[in-house]
Amino acid sequence: MRLRLAAITLAFIASGGIAAAQHHGHHDHGSHGALATDQRERVAFPPDLVEHTLADMRDHLLALQQINDALAAGEPDKAGQIAEQRLGMTSLRLHGAAEVARFMPQGMQEAGTAMHKAASRFAIEAQNAGVTGELRPALKALGETMAACVGCHAGYRLR
């Protein structure tokens, strides 16, 4: 499973998006035949941590939306601050990552770590963009952040 997750994540990053996830059979919205079987690895969390983790994931999505809004408004410094505080390595305590990680398979832990590290890289590159005006390195790091999210969601689900 860990190798499958790594392959999915790398394919997603290399292809630049959703097409890779669709290619691996995780999202076939065009199929009207039999429902596709969910092939993701089921991960058992205690019920209170399921709710906590799902709330954190919804906050991650909100943070990504706020980051995009800040970038669109020409505020890369603000985007970087949001990324570091809500998604980056600084956010690990906020989300209780140490407690949750105890229940994650190794590949899921690695995907989470990759996401947090990429978000911190984005925060640095967003600050750099505020000085240089060059957004490409920041956008690349933001794409890697989102690819880690997509890769993890493509490989795992909570039960």
Q: How far is CA 106 from the centre of its chain?
A: 16
Tokens of 69: 């809004």
Domains of the chain, earliest start first: 2-158 (1.20.120)
Q: Is the pLDDT of residue 130 over 50?
A: yes
| Measured distance CA(20)–CA(29) in Å, rounded | 14
Angle between helix 76-86 and 106-132 (nearest 10): 160
Percent of the chain with pLDDT over 90: 72
Over residues 100-119, the pLDDT tens digits come to: 999 999 999 999 999 999 99
- pLDDT given at position 35: 59
pTM: 0.78
